[in-house]
Chain A
Amino acid sequence: MSTLLKLEQVETFIGQYHILQGISFEVPKGEVTVLLGRNGAGKTTTLRTIMGLNTASKGSVLFKEEEIKSLPTYSIANKGIGYVPEDQGIFAGLTVEENIKVAVKKENDETQQRLDWILDLFPDLKKFWKKPGGLLSGGQKQMLSIARAYVNDNELLLIDEPSKGLAPIVVEKVMESIQQMKDKTTIILVEQNFMMASTIGDSFYIIDDGRTVSNGSMNLLREDEEMRRKYLGIA
């Protein structure tokens, strides 16, 4: 299986703070790679660095073997990477429809098909098609954000803690949709909710204090209680 994205010893500063101090991982095409780690470990910063929203000062970020580390955010996005940020990044004053329209790059049949598919998955979005994004519930915002990232033919989706602050039943719904998208794209999923992550993920990386400290297949982590306790604070 080929590698879609590869980070090698990536280091990132935010202002004067050395946030990422050595992140390395590989994302195989067609799989869900889960990034785990406690609060403040640097998971979000890792995704932002891939998107070019923070700039890596050292190391390399290879997407399909091409260095994208110093590209501007928009051209990284245009290479086929979709981003669902931690705060969902919904344009509050734009309607659901407009939120999706901003994202659409090519208005063709294929896009329409993808849109129909994702709207079937999230019927709420269809229901509130003309409602301003700011008035959606937390779960609906999450769905909108995912739909927006999915609607283009992206090869890789970065999804940051989609379960954050959602009721368990909504989390399930969101996770189910990610499960379904899995067949169509490659996904990097940041998730604190280990149960959820472990059902969807193929492999995992643990980030601690800005470094990738451990990795393996998801099954491995399911069995290794001690590692879970050590890095994730859960049993």
Chain B
Amino acid sequence: MDVLINLSLNGLATGMLIFLLAAGLTLIFGLMDVLNFAHGGLFAWGAYSGIWIYTTTGSFLVGILGAILTGMILGIITERWIIKPVYGNHVQQILITLGLMLVLSEMLKVVWGPNQISAVTPDYLSGSWEFGGIIIIKYRVFIIAVGFAVFLAVQYLLKKTKIGLVVRAGVMNKEMVQSLGVNIQRVFMFVFMIGAGMAALGGMLLGPYSGVIYADMGMEFAILAFIVVVIGGMGSFTGSVMAAILVGLSGSFMAYYVPDLALAANMLLMAVVLIFRPQGLFGAKG
């Protein structure tokens, strides 16, 4: 029982981190038809800048805000200078975002050195609760809560605001949205910024969770996020959260019971989905 609950919490927490990364990917894909292979780089930049700010200022909250801000700024730069010039050309998009991923990870090493950096949990979030013999680690619950809050916030944004409406309409028919007088470029930038901010937040939260941050963490998590985006259906926001939880849980349970096959199982799942149901398990772009 103890093990089951902890594995579930662990899986949920990891799932939420993956969700933060995958949500942006899937929205950006749905709206702009761009698969951003550099998204993991934004995640890692969030982690480094956030942890750096956190250790410098001593405030975890400021660190989080700093991470999000860094992510957003990088997101705007990416959208404006890297992706915009190659809209509509898929091959060039893939190539250029991959190149950006390289540059982003190497830049991390240039700025913060090639070694991994340790990240500690702030006092008020460290430790655990005990309920009837079951130990629950506070920070995991914190990650789940934050992930869930972000999910609700974005859901609100998409469902209840004008810009959200425009984004959903844009996913379905870009030309028509423009014909109705919407400057879609601005919407692109907005969505990219939000997506990048979420990714950076995810990276920052991962720091204290795993104890260390390192430049390649971006790529590692990005692969999981890609798997999630495919399983959830490219462009589907709700799909991304479901699939992220699925992948998080399967990762956590597999790692415990059959550790050798954890990543392979997810990869296989993605391959099977791509081959038999390329639109994803949870619906797809309309």
Contacts and interface: CB of A to CB of B under 8 A. Distances in A.
Direct contact of A and B (CB under 8 A): yes
Interface of A: 51, 53, 72-75, 77-78, 83, 85, 89, 91-94, 98-99, 101-103, 105, 134, 148, 152
Interface stretch (B170-178, B217-225, B262-270): B170-178
Contacts of B137: none
Interface stretch (B4-12, B35-43, B65-73, B181-189): B181-189
Given A72-B183, A101-B162, A134-B286, A91 B178 contact: no
B184 A74 contact: yes
Contacts of A152: 181
B169 interface: yes
Listed residue (B177, B178, B181) with the most chain A CB atoms within 10 angstroms of its CB: B181
Given A77-B181, A93-B172, A101-B165, 19 more contacts: A51-B179, A53-B175, A53-B179, A74-B178, A74-B181, A74-B183, A75-B183, A78-B181, A85-B179, A89-B173, A89-B176, A92-B172, A93-B168, A93-B286, A94-B168, A94-B169, A98-B169, A99-B169, A103-B181
A19 to B, nearest CB: 17
A77 B178 contact: yes
Nearest to A53: B175
Interface in B148-184: 162, 165-166, 168-169, 172-173, 175-184
B179 A77 contact: yes
Contacts of A105: 181
A94 B179 CA distance: 17
Contact of A148 (B180, B183, B286): B180
A89 B168 CA distance: 14
B168 A85 contact: no
Interface residues of B, number: 18
Contacts of B183: 72, 74-75
Contacts of A93: 168, 172, 286
Contact of A102 (B175, B180, B286): B180
A187 B98 CA distance: 48
Listed residue (A75, A93, A99, A148) with the most chain B CB atoms within 10 angstroms of its CB: A93
Nearest to A101: B165
A73 B165 contact: no
Nearest to B177: A102
Contacts, number: 62
Contacts of A53: 175, 178-179
A77 B181 CA distance: 5
Nearest to A132: B286
A38 to B, nearest CB: 25
21 contacts: A53-B175, A53-B179, A72-B183, A74-B183, A77-B178, A77-B179, A85-B176, A85-B179, A89-B173, A89-B176, A91-B172, A91-B173, A93-B172, A93-B286, A94-B169, A99-B169, A101-B165, A102-B165, A103-B181, A148-B180, A152-B181
B286 A73 contact: no
A99 to B, nearest CB: 8
**10 closest Cβ contacts across the A-B interface?**
A89-B176, A77-B181, A93-B286, A73-B178, A83-B179, A78-B181, A103-B180, A74-B183, A91-B172, A91-B169
A188 to B, nearest CB: 14
A89 B286 contact: no
B283 to A, nearest CB: 9
B166 A102 contact: yes
B71 to A, nearest CB: 27
B184 A102 contact: no
Nearest to B185: A72
Contacts of A91: 168-169, 172-173, 176, 286
A98 B173 CA distance: 14
